């Protein structure tokens, strides 16, 4: 197999989801799965393009795993359709689908050596012995497990098992690889290393990945696009930056990263800037947004890193600012997070890089100016 990065161009240079005329590789339409009276997946529609590394992100019970299992064929949808590479998947059993899955528990066959585990899928296809051996060796090289070919799964560490599971799922060169919490069982440090390993492998092979995860950092790091799921629905689909910077509602804003959510009412719309009234912070200038009525209830999402702290003089005009007292300082190495108490009693979380305050760090009980640009505020209507 040519491992030179032809997949890289697909993933990095073209973004087919931005091109309205692009044909999706996988089209999920109004897919629904009901168990008795519980709706696990509710009319989900989703287009995924060739070479993507798409993350389904959500808390437990949001339906992300059920969606993945319907793609693999383990669950039959109650309604809706899945079309993969032009072929409807309705009624196609798992063993006839051009997809492979990496299981959360890895599900490595305990009675087979690593090489037999990896070769299992090839043997089912009727691939000859010599080719099996060659492709297994290639996969072992890809996941850097050449020395462990003759071990049994129980003789491997968790990280090694994870890589065997990945190799076993990849060896058949599936059109679509489904990964159910692929890094969930690894410890934090190994997980972070493996994230980049996963990206490298995905770009090397150019196979389309769908990854289910509950870990937003993981999704942000590895995904080309993220689909945020909540209670069986896809709430928002977008590139990591879009999801982070322009969340569509309070759930997404709160789920991805940390955020200050402030209740507000629309006061008056101006051509360049819009004003809202908040109980906690008084009037706030926010970016203009179409379709709002005066007096309408909205929420302001403000990321901690958008809040700038200073001791005065008062910040430049055009920014929102307020006086606050520092209640807590949390040092996290490259940055510090501050819990600020505004005059109204409202608590705000701010964070800033430590090198900004190297000389004379802001500390407990200090009175500070907190300011943020109108453009940093995201107005949410739901």
Partner 1 sequence: MSAAPEPPAPRPRRWLPGPRWLVIAVPMAWLLLFFLVPFFVLGRISLSEPMIARPPYSPLWEVLADGTRVWLGNLENYRLLVEDTLYRNAYFSSIRIAAVSTVAALLIGYPMAYYIARAPEPRRTILLLLIILPFWTSFLLRVYAWIGFLQREGLINQALLGLGIIDAPLRMLNTDFAVYIGIVYTYLPFMILPLYANLVKLDEAFLEAAADLGAGPVTTFFTVTLPLSLPGIVAGCMLVFIPAIGEYVIPELLGASGTLMIGRVLWNEFFSANDWTMAAAVAVVMLFVVVAPIMWLQARIDRQGGGT
CA distance 23 to 17: 9
Pairing, β 274-278 against β 320-331 = unpaired
Options 86, 91, 111, 271; binder of partner 1; rule CB under 8 A: 111
**Residues 285-304 close enough to bind partner 1 by CB under 8 A:** none
Supply the minimum distance, in Å, between the C-beta of residue 8 and partner 1: 27
Supply the minimum distance, in Å, between the C-beta of residue 133 and partner 1: 17
Supply the minimum distance, in Å, between the C-beta of residue 71 and partner 1: 11
**Residues 52-81 close enough to bind partner 1 by CB under 8 A:** 72-74
- State yes or no: residue 124 binds partner 1 (CB under 8 A): yes
Supply the minimum distance, in Å, between the C-beta of residue 122 and partner 1: 9
Segment lying near partner 1 (by CB under 8 A), choices 164-172, 182-190, 204-212, 340-348: 164-172
Residue 170 CA: distances (Å) to CA of 120, 122, 138, 141: 12, 11, 11, 13
Supply the minimum distance, in Å, between the C-beta of residue 121 and partner 1: 4
Does residue 172 contact residue 205 with C-beta atoms inside 8 Å?
A: no
Supply the minimum distance, in Å, between the C-beta of residue 98 and partner 1: 10
- State yes or no: residue 121 binds partner 1 (CB under 8 A): yes
Segment lying near partner 1 (by CB under 8 A), choices 7-15, 81-89, 99-107, 326-334: 99-107
**Residues 165-204 close enough to bind partner 1 by CB under 8 A:** 168-169, 172
Q: What's the per-residue H, E or C state across 177-194?
A: EEEECCCCCCCHHHHHHH
Options 22, 83, 92, 107; binder of partner 1; rule CB under 8 A: 107
- State yes or no: residue 33 binds partner 1 (CB under 8 A): no
Cβ closest to partner 1, residue 125 vs residue 327: 125
Supply the minimum distance, in Å, between the C-beta of residue 23 and partner 1: 26
Supply the minimum distance, in Å, between the C-beta of residue 334 and partner 1: 40
Alpha carbon of residue 220 to chain centroid:
5
Cβ closest to partner 1, residue 170 vs residue 253: 170
CA distance 277 to 73: 51
- State yes or no: residue 8 binds partner 1 (CB under 8 A): no
Cβ closest to partner 1, residue 148 vs residue 251: 148
- State yes or no: residue 207 binds partner 1 (CB under 8 A): no
Extended beta strands in the chain, E state:
26-35, 38-48, 53-57, 79-84, 87-88, 99-102, 176-180, 208-213, 225-230, 233-238, 260-269, 274-278, 282-286, 297-302, 308-310, 320-331, 335-342, 347-353, 367-372, 377-380
Options 5, 92, 103, 173; binder of partner 1; rule CB under 8 A: 103
CA distance 248 to 251: 8
Count of residues touching partner 1 (by CB under 8 A): 26
Supply the minimum distance, in Å, between the C-beta of residue 223 and partner 1: 23
Structure tokens at 341: 């108490």
Options 110, 313, 317, 333; binder of partner 1; rule CB under 8 A: 110
Sheet of 208-213, strand order: 99-102, 176-180, 208-213, 53-57, 225-230, 233-238
Residue 313 CA: distances (Å) to CA of 281, 317, 321, 371: 20, 12, 12, 12
In sequence order, what are the residues at sequence separation of 6 or more whose Cβ sits closer than 8 angstroms to the Cβ of residue 190? Answer: 158, 159
Helix, strand, or coil here: 106?
A: coil
Cβ closest to partner 1, residue 126 vs residue 313: 126
Does residue 205 contact residue 171 with C-beta atoms inside 8 Å?
A: no
CA distance 236 to 224: 14
Cβ closest to partner 1, residue 125 vs residue 279: 125
Q: What residues make contact with partner 1 under the rule CB under 8 A?
A: 72-74, 93-96, 99-101, 103, 105, 107-111, 120-121, 124-125, 152, 154, 168-169, 172
């Amino acid at each position: 197999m040519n491992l030179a990065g032809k997949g890289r161009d697909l993933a990095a240079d073209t973004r087919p989801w931005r091109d309205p005329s692009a044909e999706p590789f996988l089209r999920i339409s109004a897919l629904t799965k009901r168990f008795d009276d519980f709706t696990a997946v509710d009319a989900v529609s989703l287009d995924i393009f060739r070479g993507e590394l798409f993350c389904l992100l959500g808390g437990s019970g949001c339906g992300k795993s059920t969606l993945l299992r319907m793609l693999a064929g383990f669950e039959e949808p109650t309604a809706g359709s899945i079309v993969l590479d032009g072929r409807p998947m309705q009624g196609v059993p798992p063993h006839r689908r051009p997809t492979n899955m990496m299981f959360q528990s890895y599900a490595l066959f305990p009675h087979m050596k690593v090489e037999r585990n990896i070769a299992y899928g090839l043997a089912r296809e009727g691939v000859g012995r010599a080719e099996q051996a060659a492709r297994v060796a290639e996969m072992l090289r890809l996941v850097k497990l050449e020395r462990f070919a003759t071990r049994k799964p129980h003789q491997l560490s968790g990280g090694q098992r994870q890589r065997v599971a990945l190799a076993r799922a990849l060896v058949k060169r599936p059109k679509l690889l489904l990964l159910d919490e692929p890094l969930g069982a690894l410890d934090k440090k190994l997980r972070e290393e493996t994230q980049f390993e996963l990206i490298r492998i995905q770009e090397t092979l150019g196979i389309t990945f769908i990854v289910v995860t509950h870990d937003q950092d993981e999704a942000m790091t590895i995904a080309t696009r993220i689909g945020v799921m909540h209670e069986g629905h896809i709430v928002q689909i977008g590139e990591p930056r879009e999801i982070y910077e322009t969340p569509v509602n309070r759930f997404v804003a709160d789920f991805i990263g940390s955020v200050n959510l402030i209740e507000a009412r629309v006061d008056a719309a101006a051509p360049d800037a819009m004003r809202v009234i908040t109980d906690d912070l008084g009037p706030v200038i926010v970016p203009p947004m179409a379709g709002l009525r005066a007096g309408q209830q909205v929420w302001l999402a403000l990321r901690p890193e958008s809040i700038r702290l200073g001791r005065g003089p008062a910040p430049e005009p055009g920014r929102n600012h307020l006086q606050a007292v520092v209640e807590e300082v949390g040092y996290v190495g490259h940055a510090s997070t501050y819990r600020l108490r505004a005059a109204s009693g409202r608590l705000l979380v701010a964070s800033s890089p430590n090198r900004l305050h190297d000389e004379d760090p802001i500390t407990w009980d200090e009175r500070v100016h907190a300011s943020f640009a109108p453009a940093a505020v995201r107005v949410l209507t739901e």
